[in-house]
Structure 1
Amino acid sequence: MQDYRNFEPEELAIDPSFQRWKLLDDPADRDFWKEWLVQNPDKEELVDKAYQLLSTLNDVYTRFPGERATVSDREVQNEIQRLSQAIDSQEKPSVRWYRSEWVRYGMAASIVLMLGLFWQYGVRSTEPKSGNVTYDELVAQVSNPLREVANTTNASRQVQLPDGSTIVLKPKSRVSYPDPFPGTTREVYLVGEAFFQVHKDPNKPFYVYANGLVTKVLGTSFTVQTFEDNKQVKVVVKTGKVSVFAGTQATVTQQKEDYKLEGIVLTPNQQIVFTPTDTRIVKSLVAEPALLEKPVQKQPFSFRRTPIAEVFATLEKAYGIRIVFDEEIMKSCYLTASLEDEPLFEKLDLICNTINARYEQLDAHIIINSDGCGSL
């Protein structure tokens, strides 16, 4: 059971039970939250703020046509400005609630993302959630004959697919696929862990089905991890882009109607963890972001009284990770340092210690918090 007493409003707004109560008036969740408020009367303000945030962002999301509408950064920023003005008018603002505008923007972007998933797979879908769909259940539903490859050894095994794509299948893993791929899609079913190097074919999307999660690509490389005794699924992108979505039949059918990458889109150094029991997808950075395979990685990270905006731009290009900061507040910040072999987060530690700033990860972004550098 979640310890909701320690939740912040933005955390409560993305909780599935709270959303089902406030958006759907689900009887079970309604009873739970009414009883919770009886036991925690001092948390009425927390619930009110979370509901205000949820309601406002719900209005944003429902203005977009279609079940798979993409919420742009500009729309999020505009809505945050409107939301901020409404909340700022309250008499007793929460200290943590009023962090820098950049942090509020990042939090709201994550909430919009989660709210979009809730609408797509909870409110608008007429069929039940996919839940823990096992590998055997997945392959049993396929009408076309499938070829299965099982790796029972202690070493990785390479599998060549009929379209020229390759799979590095890890030990204790299995994969099934039709040979050849029929129709206009390429579909693979996985249990365990595998690294995919997908042959590019924009006219024939490639799908990986794993325990209730579908990964869709047009041509890229990525890793999928899922095991029957671990209900979560992880997708990690190495090159290119992939999109992920919960694997109900309705959402799969919608995705197959076009060749775009929609849903949650991942780029290099990003990952998601999917929990099928509540259809929750959490997006983040990988533990150790790697330099992109571009000429920029050969350039030294040497800076001599370099404006901090240029430093962050260099890191963004090198790692493909967005760094969010207030350029106006940090316009007097400069860096003199030589950063070579350090991992990205060590580079950020050094930079932030030098200019008296702080950073945090949020929704696969780096958020920089700073009060400025004065005359430094």
Structure 2
Amino acid sequence: MQSYRDFDPEELAADPLFQRWKLQNDPEASTFWTEWLRQNPDRQTLVATATALLTAIDQHYAESVDKLIPLSDQEIGLEMSRLRQSLKVRQQPFRWIQYAPVRYAAAASVLLLLGFFGWYWLRSTPARPAVTYEELVARQPDPLEEIVNTEGKAMLVTLPDRSTILVYPKSRISYPKQFAGAKREVFLQGKAFFNVTKDPSKPFFVYANNLITRVLGTSFNIQTNELNRQVKVVVRTGRVSVYAADKPAPNRKADSSGSGVVLTPNQQLVFSATDSRLTKSLVAEPVILPQIESQAGFRFHRTPIADVFATLEKAYGVRIEYNAALMQNCYLTASLTNEPFMEKLDLICRTVNADYQQVDGNIVVHAQGCD
């Protein structure tokens, strides 16, 4: 797992998990960082410095957005120079903290170059108005069939194209009696598991509030949460393209996939209408793909690390990136048949003196190499 011990303060401030802890009070992130500080008490100064930096940036950008302060190329160049000078005080951490609000507020205009572009864009982008299930259904030119699950267990619904939807309690779906047009469309409120029949000539669309999921044939979960205005898509098999819609329209072209985020097995995406954020990540507990579940074997005897990672990729459908040349002398002897994916990865990385982090729904391994 990512150690963070060697991070600079600005690198830590740019980390999404750290931002979720400090800016959003995210419970999962808070639990992680509380435990991390317990295990790394000597990094209190690093966390305090990164916090001061992030707080100054957050306040500065909030003021800049409210006042619509423009920044010229000359100002950006000047602030970049000031930022470089401010970084020279790293060897004096307490002085850094003392002057951080002034120095970082002055340098905030160039943080786009330090990995904050996405964060700033979210801060400066107004939230999309929430689109309700009722509004989506009302926009359709023809009457729709509606299924409402008022029972205490999931309900299986078969669509006209033989696709199936497992509709969970307190959820509902609407769809046309026949998929007569160039596309198949379903509207969802609540939670449902989709198993879509393949038909490349007629793509399948699921509309859930402000989020659209497009697929040709796969299985996946979608869940809407009206309380916190979030939509989550979790892929079990196949690939889907997910994108936010400013104005979901019934006349959208059938071959349009929008500027979508592609999800593959064991990946998920959460869309927050509150701040128009799309967050892609691995699911909490990746599972072995159904088509190879009976063939999966994780017994290794002096197996090259490249073959170990290839076995994991094939079994779970999760991409693992690493420096093959640096790790060419790394081998693994272990039996990892019963461990969950993340535990397998932890054990492998500890064995070869490496760590890893999740990046955009993939795994990136950092290693020093093996003798």
Report the CA distance shift for 1:46/1:286 in structure 2 as closer, same or farther (over 3 A): farther
How many angstroms does 1:201 deviate by?
0.9
The CA deviation string for residues 34-63 of structure 1, in whole angstroms up to 9 with x for no partner, is xxxx992131476255222569x8xxxxxx
- Do structure 1's residue 41 and structure 2's residue 46 form an aligned pair? no
Q: Distance in 1 between matches of 2:359 and 2:157?
A: 36
Letter matched to residue 113 of structure 2: Q
Q: How far apart are the structure 1 equivalents of 2:325 and 2:251?
A: 46
Deviates more, 1:243-252 or 1:264-273: 243-252
Q: How far, CA to CA, are the matches of 1:306 and 1:49 in structure 2?
A: 46
In structure 1, runs of 5+ residues without a counterpart are 58-110, 123-127
Partner of 2:356: 359
1:268 equivalent among 265, 268, 275: 265
Picking from 222, 225, 230, the partner of 2:223 is: 225
What RMSD over aligned residues (CA atoms) do the two structures have, in Å? Answer: 3.6
1:51 aligns with 2:125: no
SS at match of 2:241: strand
Change (3 A) 1:46 1:327: farther
Confirm or deny that 1:371 pairs with 2:364.
no
State which of 2, 5, 8 in structure 1 corresponds to 2:13.
8
SS at match of 1:248: coil
- Residue 355 of structure 1 aligns with an amino acid whose one-letter code is V
- Residue matched to 1:304: 301
Cα 1:133–1:338 change in 2 (3 A) is same
Normalised by the length of structure 1, the TM-score is: 0.69
1:59-86, Cα deviation, whole Å (9 max, x unpaired): xxxxxxxxxxxxxxxxxxxxxxxxxxxx
- Following superposition, the deviation at residue 261 of structure 1 comes to 8.2
Change (3 A) 1:138 1:129: farther
Aligned to 1:322: 319
- 1:186-209 deviation line (CA, Å, top 9, x unaligned): 111110100011111111111111
AA paired with 2:215? V
- Alignment partners' CA distance in 2, 1:253 and 1:26: 39
Q: In 2, distance between residues paired with 1:163 and 1:251?
A: 22
Describe the SS at the equivalent of 2:265: coil
Unaligned runs of 5+ in 2: 1-9, 24-56, 72-98
Larger Rg: 2
In the alignment, which residue of structure 2 is the partner of 1:177? 175
- The one-letter code matched in structure 2 to 1:325 is Y
- Does the Cα contact within 8 Å between 1:234 and 1:271 map onto a contact in 2? yes
Contact 1:131/1:278 (<8 A) preserved: no
Q: Which residue of 344, 347, 353 corresponds with 1:347?
A: 344
Q: State the Cα distance separating 1:136 from its structure 2 match.
A: 1.2
1:43 partner amino acid = Y
Q: SS state of the match for residue 187, structure 1?
A: strand
Q: TM-score, normalised by structure 2?
A: 0.70
Please list, as runs of the form range in 1=range in 2, the aligned pairs for 1:67-216 lying within 5 A after superposition.
130-216=128-214
